[in-house]
Structure 1
Amino acid sequence: MSKHPGARAFLLAISITSVVCVQADDPDMVNKSNNPLNPEAGMNLLDYYTPKYYGSNIHTNDLLVRGTLPIAPNGFIGVPQLLRATAPISIRPDPGGGYSTGEGDLNLIDFFLLKTEGVQLGIGPQITAPYADKDELGTGKWQAGLAAIAIDSSPRGLLGALVQYQNSFAGDSDRSHVESATVQPFVIHNLERGWYLRSTATWAFDLKNDTHYIPLGLGAGKVWKSRDNILNAFIEPQWTVEHKGDGLPQFTLFVGFNATFGQ
């Protein structure tokens, strides 16, 4: 059994779904489970284990607990929304030469779904709250910015990208200013019997320190139907193909489990 928590969660999810679920042969069902703009309630467990960094012998782990909640349009806004909250549980090196484990900074995004047919479009504000248990687990800064996403869905799969920008505006005055951007391409290719191939690695740009890294991922996943819910387990190794700066991820193992409710 692997020693890091994400792999254990992935294997547990596989064990449970293989017992209680039935086959998913509908490409639309696979797309719903993988589409970040799917306007239905969901929960994700996403684990990033990074054993190799450039210029360093450290390792890290981030288990992201993410929930999405649809908000029906009302008279004031007039468009549907999708609220997404992400709370990380991280393992990071501490100043004493060991490792700290605890909660990281909380991120909230409110997507306004501007287009829900054809190529789906979503844009909205985001905020990151400095809720980390220890300094090494977060930035110590309040951050705000924008997120925009476009997704094209077809029987073949999904194609799109999520772009995020954040800038710190308050927080611990002894901590460094934060300005960052990320680009996450989505490439999902559907196979038969609920299987699919995926590439969803996030490109990260530290605009304050002028560093960046660009990984590429290649993985696979499996979707099941369980009663009224869609369940999805996957694994995606990610290799950095271009970077600027030290202390950046060289290789990351990404595993996850998604649940879409009320289908």
Structure 2
Amino acid sequence: MKFSLKAFMTTLALSAAACTSLAETSSDDMNKSNNPLTPVVGLNLHDYITSSIFGTDETSNSFNLRGALPHATGGLPQLARMTIPYQTVPGPDGDQVSGLGDINIFDIFLVAGTETMQFGIGPYFIFPTASEDETGAGKWQAGASAVVMNPHPWGLLGGLLTYQHDFAGDEDRPTQNIATLQPFVIYNIPSGVYLRSTGIMFFNWETGDYYIPIGFGIGKVWKLETGITMNLFAEPQWTVAHEGVGVPNFQTFVGLNLQFPITAN
């Protein structure tokens, strides 16, 4: 399955910018649009286009529809995020298999911090919702997620760590014992443009497989008069260290982040 998501997002952003008056985009707006701890309603369209995979000539594609919702259940400020993936991956017979992946949710408790240091921690759940064996793990999984963010006028530094382990599901499927670490390096330049590096490191503690990508990309943030923020970006990522086959060698991460001026009550 081939997407024209990049063209779609470009058209959407340009159309919105053309038909809607724009407000001045500050460095704070740019940081908030890239910060996973920003407590506003968000909608993300993310696509990982993997054009080279270790151990095979096949390609893959992972499109993620992601929503974020701030809330204050129990009087505690939190940010819930749900990701619905649609995967296209190499199949067992040399073909490609497409289908819904495993939906994941984390709920981050926003720990009191400062203007220059923000923290969050909370539970992480993965549900075996995949429509095909190849697009999911077939396991119920739980774990934890933690986020640290360090905003500056020039940009943003931080990291998102997750850990997951299965506790139920298909006994014939491999055990899931996985950690990921996503660093955030954002450097703001004039006119709402920024440079970025956000490659997700992946570690399978059960098999010993891992891969560490390094990304270098560019993005553009628009602040609309309505208060909505749009963030369009593209980031090529190269794997600089790995173990095992079937992991990405080169991929391109493209996305559109939308944030709406709605906060938790």
TM-score when scaled to structure 1?
0.94
Contact 1:69 / 1:82 at 8 angstroms: preserved in 2?
yes
Q: 1:68 to 1:116 in 2, by over 3 A?
A: farther
Classify the secondary structure of the residue corresponding to 2:131: coil
**Correspondence for 1:133:** 131
Q: Do 2:210 and 2:243's aligned partners in 1 also have CA atoms closer than 8 Å?
A: yes
SS in structure 1 opposite 2:107?
strand
Residues of 1 paired with 2:27 and 2:176: CA distance?
A: 40
- Identity percentage of aligned residues: 44
Is 1:231 paired with 2:245? no
Residues of 2 paired with 1:258 and 1:251: CA distance?
Answer: 23
What is the CA–CA distance in structure 2 between the aligned matches of 1:24 and 1:236, rounded to whole Å? Answer: 25
In the aligned structure 2, how far is the partner of 1:54 from the partner of 1:232? 31
Distance in 2 (CA, whole Å) between partners of 1:150 and 1:5 is 33
Distance in structure 2 (CA, Å) of the matches to 1:17 and 1:220? 20
Match of 2:6 in 1: 7
- Superposed, 1:164-183 pairs within 5 Å as 164-183=162-181
Residues 25 and 223 in structure 2, CA contact (< 8 A), matched pair in contact too: no
CA distance in 1, matches of 2:252, 2:145: 25
CA contact (8 A) 1:25 1:192 kept: no
Match of 1:67 in 2: 67
Q: Is residue 81 of structure 1 aligned with residue 78 of structure 2?
A: yes
Residue 29 of structure 2 aligns to a residue in which SS? helix
Partner residue, 2:50: 50
**What residue in structure 1 maps to residue 101 of structure 2?**
104
- The letter of the residue matching 1:139 is A
Give, in whole Å, the separation in 2 of the partners of 1:16 and 1:161: 33
Name the counterpart of 1:17: 16
Deviation of residue 23 (structure 1)?
5.4
Displacement of 1:139: 0.4
Deviations 1:89-139 (A, max 9, x none): 111122333212221000000000012423100000000000001100100
Unpaired runs of 5+ in structure 2? none
Partner SS, residue 14 of structure 1: helix
Q: 1:33 is matched with which residue?
A: 33
In structure 2, C-alpha distance between the alignment counterparts of 1:194 and 1:24, rounded to whole Å: 9
Please say which of residues 25-34 and 5-14 is displaced more in the overlay: 5-14
Deviations 1:154-207 (A, max 9, x none): 111110001110001111121111110001000011111110000000000011
- Matched position secondary structure for 2:221: strand
CA contact (8 A) 2:13 2:230 kept: no
- Displacement after TM superposition at 1:73 (Å): 5.5
Mapped partners of 2:161, 2:181: distance in 1: 5
The one-letter code sitting in structure 2 at the alignment partner of 1:241 is V
Name the stretch that deviates more: 4-13 or 80-89.
4-13
Distance of aligned partners of 1:60 and 1:80 in 2 relative to their CA distance in 1, 3 Å threshold: same
The letter of the residue matching 2:131 is D
CA distance in 1, matches of 2:177, 2:4: 30
* Matches of 1:103 and 1:207, distance apart in 2: 25
Aligned alpha-carbon RMSD (Å): 1.4
Displacement, 1:238?
0.3
Q: Which moved more, 1:89-98 or 1:56-65?
A: 89-98
More off after superposition, 21-30 vs 209-218:
21-30
Residue in structure 2 matched with residue 144 of structure 1 by the alignment: 142
For 1:66, give the aligned amino acid.
R
Q: How many residues align?
A: 258
